[in-house]
Amino acid sequence: MITIYRSRKFKISPEDLPALKRAVFVNINSQEWTPVLIHTLDIDQGGDFLVEVLGVDEYFDQACKLASFAEAGRAVIFPARNPHSDHVFDEGDSVTFDAELYHVGVFKCQYGLKYVHRFSDRDGNELTWTTNTFCHLGNYRVTAKVKAHEEYFGVYQTSVTHCRFEAIEQEV
């Protein structure tokens, strides 16, 4: 079987290129197969990178969307895993829960790079944690403080802060 890669070029700032590569790696590529590659072609006189996104099928489309956001200096938005999520716990409570960290988004702000970690608990509820620390996808026992109950594009999310993680083997 022949795999046909499509290609598109973008102009990305040096600050946004690592975030773009990490977002593609975390959200699209897997250990078994790499459907998207980001290749640096050149550096222009302003110091921006000319990069080429190579990919197949819907993976290419998703990577181009990420690159377009990076080129425009905007944060990346991904749909929630469960659109029927509920708020969990009470604001201000210190809680411990098991959840799957299934998405890490990256955006740039005045304080540098920020990572939005999105969790799904056993009941499919969305929990988020925004920090300057990057965590790998997986199943965790999380101890945190409930910061707020929020709604994001019509999906209820519980925002947490002061997170501590312990990797767990079991599926959540």
Spell out the domains of the chain, with CATH numbers in brackets. Answer: 6-72 (3.30.70.60), 94-167 (2.40.50.140)
Residue 84 has pLDDT above 70, yes or no: yes
Q: How many CB atoms lie within 10 A of CB 123?
A: 9
β-pair partners for 42: 50
Does position 172 have pLDDT exceeding 70, yes or no? no
pLDDT on residue 51: 86
What is the model's pLDDT at position 30? 56
**Whether this model's pTM surpasses 0.85:** no
What average pLDDT score do residues 102-128 get? 84
As a whole number, mean pLDDT of residues 101-110 equals: 78
Burial class from Cβ neighbours inside 10 Å (0-12, 13-18, 19+) for residue 113 reads middle
Top-confidence residue, 77 or 114: 114
